[in-house]
Amino acid sequence: MTDVLLIDPDADIYAAGIAEALPDVRVHTDPGSASAAQVVVALAHAIDAGLVRALPNLRFIQALTTGTDHLDALPLKPGVAIASARGIHGPQMAEMAFLHMLALARDFPAMRDNQVRRAWVRWPQRLLFGKTVVLVGLGAIAEALAPRCQAFGMRVVGVSDGRRQAPGCDIVLPRGALTQAAGMADFLVVLVPLAPATERLIDAAVLAAMKPDGMLINLARGRVVDEAALIAGLRAGRPAGAGLDVFETEPLPPDSPLWTMPNVVVTPHLGGMSDIYARQALPLVIDNLRIWRQGNPERLRNLVRIVA
């Protein structure tokens, strides 16, 4: 018998799906009564050192998030396998990109302010049609976003060192050509994971290379963009605006100038969320439980690491 601890507001959905697919798995939703659990399924940030110490038999963590860096500092025993939920977020992240592009292009914040003031103010509307979107990073999210951009009549330029072509991209440039790509962008959409090579990848030089009316959208991680350089650039008018879902410090501090800049749209790290998240993640959870129970942790989908 495998004991699984589920920590999630939608634990009932996961539990029902697991019970149907793997009837010999026992699911717990109360950490206080799950000391026998060998597996934890939860958002990475919902797992802390106290929980790990309370689970002496823990051997597998299935994170329901793409990022698992929060787990690096936990007292995990050797042999514990960690897998992520990378690859399930394409639809919601793509739609978040469009929310930001449309809000910036059409100045939706001003429309909303005018509605509150009952002011009938009209201006020519900037279209996405015919514009160039540059996707920095060509993983699963870009693969979902790029064809949607083409459906809007946009030209799609990818930036990646990992591939020379990608679905939905008209051209793909190497990361060494990032400044050149930024100069093409009506919308520069940042999607790369945070790593030593990508920290502050979008720096003052990249921002200065953008078109005077170019917009930056960051859906990756806050530290991929040099936030101080971005604030300075926004004040100077290049980029012309920014749509930001992630920040160097989260929650975004109340005194950050980004809150009140008229050319910035702020969303509170909502990009990966959806109203069907459990149903999106459930097939991955079931597959990985099955693989782990077969004694093949090295074959887990989205395996991050096995603790040494």
Tell me, what's the pLDDT at 94?
98
From CA 164, how far away is CA 142, in angstroms rounded?
14
> Residues 84, 197: one domain?
no
Query: Strand locations in 16-91, DSSP E?
Result: 25-28, 39-42, 60-63, 81-83
Q: Are residues 142 and 111 in the same domain?
A: yes
Q: How far apart are CA 146 and CA 275, in angstroms?
A: 22
% pLDDT > 90, the chain: 98
Residue 59 belongs to domain spanning: 2-88+275-306
Contacts made by residues 145-152, CB under 8 angstroms, sequence distance 24+: 145/90, 145/93, 145/94, 145/97, 145/189, 145/191, 148/94, 148/98, 152/98, 152/128
What whole-number distance in Å separates Cα of residue 174 and Cα of residue 180?
10
Mean pLDDT score, 53-80 = 96
Confidence grade of residue 127 (pLDDT, cut at 50, 70, 90):
very high
Say yes or no: 34 and 176 in one domain: no
Regarding whether 130 and 229 lie in a shared domain, the answer is yes
Phi, psi of 78 (to 5 degrees): -55, 140
My answer on whether 148 and 238 are in the same domain is: yes
User: Same domain, yes or no, for 165 and 21?
Assistant: no
- Span 195-215, pLDDT tens digits: 999 999 999 999 999 999 999
Q: Both 221 and 281 in a single domain?
A: no
Residues 46-65 pLDDT 10s: 999 999 999 999 999 999 99
> What gap in Å lies between CA 278 and CA 308, rounded to an integer?
30
Sheet with 241-244, edge to edge strand ranges: 171-173, 155-159, 132-136, 187-190, 215-218, 241-244, 264-266
Name the H helices within 63-190. 90-105, 108-117, 140-151, 178-184
Rounded to whole angstroms, the Cα distance separating 164 from 158 reads 9
Residues 228 and 148 in one domain: yes
What pLDDT score does 253 carry? 98
Average per-residue pLDDT for the chain: 97
pTM of the model: 0.94
Residues 36, 84 share a domain: yes
Residue 230 and residue 165 share a domain: yes
Query: Which amino acid, residue 73?
Result: A
The model's pLDDT over 169-190, given as tens digits with 9 standing for 90+, comes to 999 999 999 999 999 999 999 9
Q: Are residues 67 and 41 in the same domain?
A: yes
Count of other CB atoms within 10 angstroms of residue 181: 24
Say how many domains are in the chain. Answer: 2
Alpha carbon distance 194, 54 (integer Å): 31
Query: In this structure, are 57 and 135 located in the same domain?
Result: no
Active site residue ranges? 221, 250, 269
CATH number of domain containing 291: 3.40.50.720
Q: What is the mean predicted confidence (pLDDT) over 100-121?
A: 98
Region 141-158 average pLDDT: 98
